[in-house]
Homo-oligomer: A and B are copies of this chain.
Amino acid sequence: MKPIRSFSDLCAHLARQGRRYRLAVVCGADDSTAQAVMRAVDSGFAEAYFVGRTAEVKQQACVAAAPTEWVHYVDADTDEEAAAAAVRMVGKGEADVLMKGLIHTDTLLRAVLHKEWGILPRGRVLTHIAVAQMESYHKLLFFTDAAVIPYPTQEQRLQQVEYLAQMLHAFGIEEPRLSLIHCAETVSPKFPHTEGYGEICRRAAAGEWGRLVVDGPLDLRTSCDPLTLRVKGIHSPVGGDADALVLPDLETGNLLYKALPLFAAARVAGMLQGTLAPVVLPSRGDSADAKYDSLALATINCR
């Protein structure tokens, strides 16, 4: 497969596959969610299950205008009931992607993590992966974690690397380059997370996650700018050409996630990884375009 190098590559790839993924959309009666979902249906890669107060969904112009066999409705009166119903659909294998509409993140996550019928398998780590497309970088840039784990433990970081590797391979990148980010290029006991970076590099080199080049600690410039790497006289197999960044913690991940659209006109998408099915968890303020991008990102990560 040819590598996917942009959001438009991604959507073209999904449309070409000829498979419709089943989306369980929780409380999707708001404009931007309904529009994003209908666009995915129209693009040919989605079949939508709107779960919630479906009478409101049917009133949305984009839904009412073009009735299709690929849209279904599951009624639920409260947000809690809608979240539970959608999560159970994923649990029973009746949906491939879970998507949040106009519902509190906490309410949806409580259902996702429910002890009896939740969809996070025991021992799996729930974490966030984002991807940015911007003119100032020559390819997509993936990073983790902008939304879930405050200060990842070494175990959690190892799973973040595994999820990233899976996603990069799903994007058709044969030998992805992954940077473990720190403010400098040296391990320091003042920054305990850097002390585990060596182990991650060794396990990657041993082939634990398939073809994958990992290096770190590296800072953002030595990760993404070959010139800086040369000026600093550093040798790194990532070569200043990173496909993905593992960030130290949630504060750094979130800062990058917010800085890139705000200051670098980046288009960003995000999703949760670790659950039985990918979870799309947009922000209230996201546009229909942003929600569509995140939906596409989640869909390509379906098994």
Report A's interface with B, CB cutoff 8 A.
134, 136-137, 146-147, 150, 181-183, 190-191, 219-221, 224-225, 227-228, 231-232, 247-256, 258-260, 262-266, 284-285
The answer to whether A263 and B231 have CB atoms under 8 Å apart is no
The answer to whether B251 and A182 have CB atoms under 8 Å apart is yes
13 A-B residue pairs with Cβ-Cβ distance under 8 Å, sorted by A, are: A181-B251, A181-B255, A183-B250, A183-B251, A183-B253, A220-B254, A220-B262, A232-B285, A249-B251, A251-B251, A255-B255, A255-B256, A256-B259
The answer to whether A220 and B264 have CB atoms under 8 Å apart is no
Q: Which residues of chain B have C-beta atoms less than 8 A from A256's C-beta?
A: 255, 259
- Docked complex Cα distance between A254 and B254 (Å): 14
The answer to whether A254 and B183 have CB atoms under 8 Å apart is yes
Distance between A236 CB and nearest chain B CB, rounded to angstroms: 15
Q: Which residues of chain B have C-beta atoms less than 8 A from A247's C-beta?
A: 255
Instruction: Answer whether A285 and B251 are a contact pair too, CB < 8 Å, given A262-B224, A262-B225, A264-B136.
Output: no
The answer to whether B251 and A137 have CB atoms under 8 Å apart is no
